[in-house]
Amino acid sequence: MDTRKVLVVDDEERMRTLVRDYLVRDGFQVIEAADGEQAVEKFFSEDKIDLIILDVMMPRMDGWEVCRTIRRQSAVPIIMLTARSQEQDELLGFELGVDEYIAKPFSPRILVARVEALLRRSGAASSDLLSAGGIVVDKTAHEVTIDGKPVELSFKEFELLTYFMENAGIALSREKILSGVWNYDYFGDARTIDTHVKKLRSKMGDKGEYIKTIWGMGYKFTADGK
In order along its 226 residues, the chain shows pLDDT tens digits of 457 899 999 999 999 999 999 999 988 999 999 999 999 999 999 878 999 999 988 988 999 999 999 988 888 899 998 876 666 666 777 778 888 888 888 889 889 988 988 887 765 434 467 888 889 888 878 889 998 899 999 988 999 999 999 888 889 998 888 888 876 555 555 678 899 999 999 999 999 999 999 998 899 999 865 5
Residue 126 has a pLDDT of 41
In DSSP terms, which residues pair with 103 in a beta bridge?
Answer: 82
Residue 225 has a pLDDT of 55
Task: Please say which residue of 101, 121, 141 terminates a domain.
Answer: 121
Residue 92 has a pLDDT of 72
Residue 86 has a pLDDT of 63
> Beta-carbon neighbour count of residue 7 at 10 Å?
22
In this structure, the answer to whether residues 82 and 161 fall within a common structural domain is no
Task: Please say which residue of 70, 99, 121 terminates a domain.
Answer: 121
Q: Residue 187: which CATH number? A: 1.10.10.10
In this structure, the answer to whether residues 69 and 145 fall within a common structural domain is no
Residues 6+ apart with CB under 8 A from 69: 40, 61
**SS3 at position 120:** helix
In this structure, the answer to whether residues 141 and 112 fall within a common structural domain is no
Measured at the alpha carbon of residue 197, what is the angle toward residues 194 and 201, in degrees to the nearest 5?
140
**SS3 at position 54:** strand
| Domain enclosing residue 159, as ranges | 129-221
- Of 172, 22, 186, the C-alpha closest to 99 is 186
User: What Rg do the C-alpha atoms of the chain give, in angstroms?
Assistant: 18
Residue 189 has a pLDDT of 59
In this structure, the answer to whether residues 25 and 64 fall within a common structural domain is yes
Q: Residue 30: which CATH number? A: 3.40.50.2300
The total domain count for the chain is 2
Any alpha helices (H) in the chain, and if so which ranges? 13-25, 36-45, 63-71, 87-96, 108-121, 155-166, 174-177, 191-204
